[in-house]
Amino acid sequence: MQNRKKRHAYATGLFAIFGADLQANVTIDGQINTIEWQHARVFEDYIRSFPNTGEAPKFPTKTYLTSDEKGIYVAFENYQPHRSRKYSGHDQYTSADFNMVFVDFNNDGDTAYEFVATLGGGTMDGTYSRGNQSNRDWDGDWQVRVSEQGDYWYSEFFIPWTTASYRAVSGQQREISIYFQRQNVIESEAYSFPDTNRGRKNFTYEFYPVTVNNTQNQSIKSSAYITSNYNLNTDSQETNIGLDVTWKPSANQQLIATAQPDFGQVESDELIVNYSAIETLRTDKRPFFTINQSLFDVRGPNDLRLVNTRRIGANAIGNSEQLHDIEAAAKYVANYEHINAGLLVAREGDVIGDDGKDFTSLRWYSSFDKLSFGQLYNYVADPTSNRTSLVVNQDLSYRFNDKVNLASNIIYSYNKDAEDKEIGKGITFKGSYVPVRHWQNNLEWTYLDAQLNVNDLGYMQRNNISTLTTNSQYDHYGFAATSPIRRTRTFAEYRYQRNTMGLTLRDSLYLSYYLQLKNRHGFRVGLQQKDNGSDDLITRQLGFVDMPAQRQIHLYYGSPSPATFSYNMRADYFQEGESEWAQKFNINTTSYFNDRIRLNANYTYIDSPDWLIGNSSGEVKRYQRKLNMLYAKLIARLSSNSDITLTTQWYGLKAAGIATENNQFSMGEDFNVSQFALQARYRKRLENGSSLYFVYSHNGFDDEAEISFGRMASNAISEAQQKSITAKINWVF
C-alpha cells in the first residue's frame, strides 16, 4: 500500500503540471496525433508478465492517457516489426496481437473494467472484481480503433464516464487506477504496466493510481429491440418488443430498468452432454443482467455462485420446453466513500399452468485498505409450488500483503413450501500464498450442510459436503540460452472430502507437468488417483454406493500459435466404473483462410466399457458407451462493422446396458441419443452502438435405437424440432 501511495503522489504531481481543465480533443481513429496527445501522461515502464519473469520486454511500448468531461482516452504505440492481425470477432479467443486497458473508477480494487482491442479488428470486454474474479459476460459502451505504419501498430480507446457508476467526489480531480497490458502473440509474450498480472489474487488491488478530470454528468441511455421470429416448422410468426433504460442521475448512482429484456447477441447455447448429478453452469449475455452486475457477483469454491441470473426467465416447472418471459426487471446501484449497495428485482411472466416467479437480490459491500466485507440477501417467491426462498450471505476478505490473501463466505438459507421448511447453513474459506512471483499456493475449505439450498437464485454443485482442497503451481523460466526449453509448469492438487453425516467420500490427488519449447510447441502429462470410498452424489444423495479406486492419465500436445493452422490434442486413459479402462480423445483446430476468416473445429471421441449413471430414484446403472461429438464455428469479417458467424454442433451417444456382479449397480437399458444444432448469424453494427441481426437456427433430436452414428446424425439433421428465421434490430438512443 505504501508503494501505491508513492505512485499516487507522482501521478498527482503530473496532473498539477498539466492542469485539470485541459480538453482532450482526441479523435478516435487509431492514428496517434502528437497535437492531440501532447498533454497526455505517458507510461513506458512495462515489464514482461508472460512468461512472468519481471524482466524488460523485448519490444518497447508507449501508452498515453488523458481525459475530459466526456471520458477517458488511452492510446498505445507498439513497436513490433512482425505482427499478427487475425480477426476474432467480439469476446472470442484471438490469435492477433492486442492491447488491454483496465480501469478501476473508484481506485479501491473492488471492480475494474476490461477493454481489449486486437490488431485484427476484434474486441473483448469484461469485469474483474475483488482481486482476479473475472466475468466476460459484461458488454460495455466504448470505442476503439487500430492502425499500422512501418514497424509500429497503434490503438486508441475512448471509455465514456457513462460506462460505469462510481463514487461522487467534489472538485476538478478524481482518483482512478489503471492497468495496461500488451500481447505479442508472435513471441508468445505479454508486457504489463504496472508490475502485476491477471493471475494474481491481488490483481485489481495492485493497479497504478492516477488523477484525472472529474465529472458529475448525468446521463440516460435507452435501448429498444424488435425481434421477429418465423417458425418454419409451424409456419407461424412471433414478434417481441423490449426496452432497456439506463439512467445515471449522478456519478455514483445508476438505475437500469427493462421490460421484456433483450437476449443479447442472439447467440445459442452450446449443446451439453451431461448425465451427472452436477448441473451445468451457463453464462448470461442479456444486457440487463450484465450491466453493473459485478456487485452481485458473489462466489465461493467449487463454482459456488450466490446470484446466477440464468435462474430468471428459466424453464417452466410444468413444461421444461417452455421458457418464462421476463415481464419487467430493475436494478439500482449506488457507490459511496466506503460502501457500495445495489438492489435487483425481476418478475417473470406466466405460462400455461405455471405462474412466474418474483426475484429480489439486495447487496452491500465495503472496502478499506486491506479489509473488504459485505452481505447479500436473495428472496424468491414461486407461486406455482407455493415456495419461498431466503438466502443470506456474509462475505469477508483480508489482504495481509501482496503474498497472503484470505476470503470467506458464511451462508444461511431458509426455504419453505406448503408442506415443509428447511434451514441450512454453510461456510467457505479460501487462502492463497504467493511467496515469489512464479509460485502460487491455494487452500480452500467448504462446509455446506444437508439443508443448505441456494439454487432458487444461485448455483451450487451440491450440499451435504465438507471439502478441503490444497494446490500448488510452480512456473520455472530460468533456462539457459542454449536450452530448447522456454518454460515449465508443475501443478499438484489434493482434495479431501466427507459429507456432513460423516460418510467418507473419495479423496483424490492430481499431478501435472507442462513443458513449452522455445519454438512454442507445448506438452503436458497429467495423473489422477481417486481413492476407494463412498459416492453419494451419483445416487442424488438417496443413499450411497462404494466405489473402487480409480486412475486417470492424460497426454496433451499444443502446436505453435499463432499460425495459419494450429491445433491441440489430448488423449485420456481412465477408469469411470467398476474396473475397466476407458479412452477419450479430443482435438481442437484453428484455421485461418486469411486475416478475416477463421474456422474453429473440435472433435471428441469416448469409448468406455464401464460407465455408471445414477437416476432420480437413487439407482445406479451400468453401461458401455460410445460418444462422438463434432463442433465447428466459422467467423468471417465482411467489413469494419459487419460479420457473419456459422456455428454447428452434433453429438451421438450410444449406451448399452451391461451386467454386473456388484449388487450396488444394475444393468441399464440400452439407449441412443443424437442432437444437432446449427446457427447462421449475420450482424451489422450501426451508429451509436445499435445492431442489426439476421439469424437462421436449426435444431434436431433423435433417439432411434440400433442405428449407426451416421444415421443418428442424418436423423437429427433431417428431423428438425426447431427451424426458424429471426430478424432483430437493437436500437440505442
For residue range 549-565, list pLDDT tens digits in order: 999 999 999 999 888 99
Torsions phi, psi of 116, nearest 5? Answer: -130, 135
Residue 107 is part of a domain; what is its CATH number?
Answer: 2.60.40.1190
The answer to whether residues 595 and 85 touch, using CB atoms and an 8 Å cutoff, is yes
DSSP-assigned letter for residue 663: T
* Domain contains 164: yes
* Domain contains 188: yes
**3-state secondary structure string across 415-447:** EECCCCEEEEEEEEEEEEEEEECCEEEEEEEEE
Domain count of the fold of the chain: 1
The answer to whether residues 453 and 422 touch, using CB atoms and an 8 Å cutoff, is yes
pLDDT of amino acid 167: 86
pLDDT of amino acid 14: 43
pLDDT of amino acid 347: 93
* Domain contains 354: no
pLDDT of amino acid 440: 95
Residue whose C-alpha cell reads 514497424 in the numeric block: 151
* CA–CA dist 306, 440 (Å, integer): 26
The answer to whether residues 146 and 116 touch, using CB atoms and an 8 Å cutoff, is no
Prediction pTM value: 0.89
* Domain contains 175: yes
Torsions phi, psi of 188, nearest 5? Answer: 55, 50
186: cell is: 508472435
User: CB atoms < 10 A from the CB of 343, how many?
Assistant: 17
pLDDT of amino acid 23: 57
Concatenated DSSP letters of 74-89: EEEEEE-SS-------
Helix segments in 447-598, DSSP class H: none
Length reported for the chain: 733
Q: What is the mean pLDDT of each run of 10 residues along the chain (733 residues)?
A: 45 41 73 89 95 92 93 95 86 85 92 93 90 85 92 95 85 91 92 93 93 83 89 91 89 89 67 88 84 90 93 75 83 90 93 87 92 96 94 96 94 93 96 93 97 96 96 94 95 96 94 96 97 93 93 97 92 94 97 92 97 91 96 92 94 94 90 95 87 93 91 92 91 87
* Domain contains 76: yes
Q: Number of C-alpha atoms within 13 angstroms, CB side, residue 144?
A: 28
* Domain contains 249: no
pLDDT of amino acid 139: 82
pLDDT of amino acid 16: 39
* Domain contains 199: yes
* CA–CA dist 165, 172 (Å, integer): 18
- Sequence letter at residue 530: K
pLDDT of amino acid 21: 40
* Domain contains 206: yes
User: Parallel, antiparallel, or unpaired for β 720-732 and 691-702?
Assistant: antiparallel
Range of the domain at 177: 2-216
Question: Taking Cα atoms as reference points, which of 575, 665, 652, 658 lies closest to residue 615?
Answer: 665
Question: Taking Cα atoms as reference points, which of 451, 556, 435, 431 lies closest to residue 501?
Answer: 451
Question: Taking Cα atoms as reference points, which of 381, 390, 329, 336 lies closest to residue 355?
Answer: 381
The answer to whether residues 402 and 374 touch, using CB atoms and an 8 Å cutoff, is no
* CA–CA dist 262, 266 (Å, integer): 9
